[in-house]
Amino acid sequence: MYSEKVMDHFQNPRNVGEIEDASGVGTVGNAKCGDIMRIYLDIDGNGIIQDCKFKTFGCGAAVATSSMATELVKGKSIEEAMKVTNKAVMEALDGLPPVKVHCSLLAEEAIHAALWDYAKKHGIEIEGLKPPKSDIHEDEEEGEEY
């Protein structure tokens, strides 16, 4: 049911923890299951994400997708990090069962919420970034297969 990559990131999640004095912190909840995700970003003066950590009250798929998402955004510019969508994360993990797609949204939305926090603190605007939702769900993804 789960790919080897999903199992690997679930059993050995990368970047679990907190960042003290993070440049941006984002917390989101998943309306579908009630699970919670928090992402911490450390962004340097050039707008490069030096570090990224996560904490979650989520299922195994949420752990695996967040682990992969944090790996994907590390070392990237803010612009590049905006392209790390839940679809990109799922592809990097060789797919997720359709019933678990909503879990992968937690990481994407929490990264966006952390970027929003960073942008607010620095008085900047990030192209394409929308205000964080408190409760996320998978309107667009419903019914799609991965």
Contact stretch for ligand FES (CB under 6 A) within 16-24, 56-64, 82-90, 116-124: 56-64
Stretch that binds ligand FES, among 28-36, 40-48, 72-80, 137-145 (CB under 6 A): 28-36
Does residue 62 interact with ligand FES by CB under 6 A?
Answer: yes
Quickly tell me which residue has 């682990």 as its tokens.
67
Interacting residues of 14 by C-beta distance below 8 A, sequence separation 6+: 67, 68, 70, 71
Paired residues of 115 in beta bridges:
none
Decide if 59 is catalytic: no
Question: Which amino acid does the sequence have at 53?
Answer: K
By CB under 6 A, tell whether 117 contacts ligand FES.
no
User: What are φ and ψ of residue 40, in 5° steps?
Assistant: -115, 135
The pattern of x and - marking residues 82 through 111 that bind ligand FES according to CB under 6 A reads ---------------------x--x-----
**Alpha-carbon distance 34 to 31, whole Å?**
5
Tell me, yes or no, if 33 is annotated catalytic: yes
Yes or no: say if 115 and 24 are a contact pair by the CB < 8 Å rule.
yes
Residue whose CB is less far from ligand FES, 100 or 118: 100
Q: What are 48's strand-pairing partners?
A: 77
69: contact with ligand FES by CB under 6 A: no
Residues annotated catalytic, as ranges: 33, 103
Which parts of this chain interact with ligand FES (CB under 6 A)?
30, 33, 35, 58-59, 61-62, 103, 106
